[in-house]
Amino acid sequence: MVVSKLPREKHSREDGFLCELISSKYNDSPFSCFHSYLVVIRPDKVRAMHYHKQKQEWLALTSGKIKLVLENINTKERSEIKMDIEGEKYKIIHIPSFFAHAIKNIGSSNASIVIFTEKSDNLEDTIEYQMEI
């Protein structure tokens, strides 16, 4: 049996970790047309607190409970979305460009999400943005 292993870097921090899954950054044919990564958030920790000028993201919860706060940086309109993997309905959330976002783990164990984008990360497109969560 032939098994392919795709090595990935794991970026660990005090609040959890991030690991790219499938990405245009790698030559993973046929998966080189989009970018995705796994984010794990420890209980009571917050990730993101930024927005993108160009990139859009789609967020899919894979375990745990989170509160997602979105704020349109132009109009300051805010919304909060609570997600629980044990809930009756499943949603994938679209985060457009110029929407600041912060994700807080509101559960008692690690929460994990998968983020899908059309482009790999560009540090110049990630703008820090402080917001209440």
Q: Is residue 85 part of a domain?
A: yes
Tens digits of residue pLDDT in 40-89: 999 999 999 999 999 999 999 999 999 999 999 999 999 999 999 998 88
Query: For position 41, which CATH number holds?
Result: 2.60.120.10
Domain of 64, in residue numbers: 10-120
From residue 86, alpha-carbon distances to 64, 109, 125 in Å are 8, 13, 33
Query: Considering only CA atoms, which of 102, 64, 68, 108 is closest in space to residue 86?
Result: 64
Note the pTM of the prediction, 2 decimals: 0.80
pLDDT of residue 2: 65
Bridge partners of 127? 51
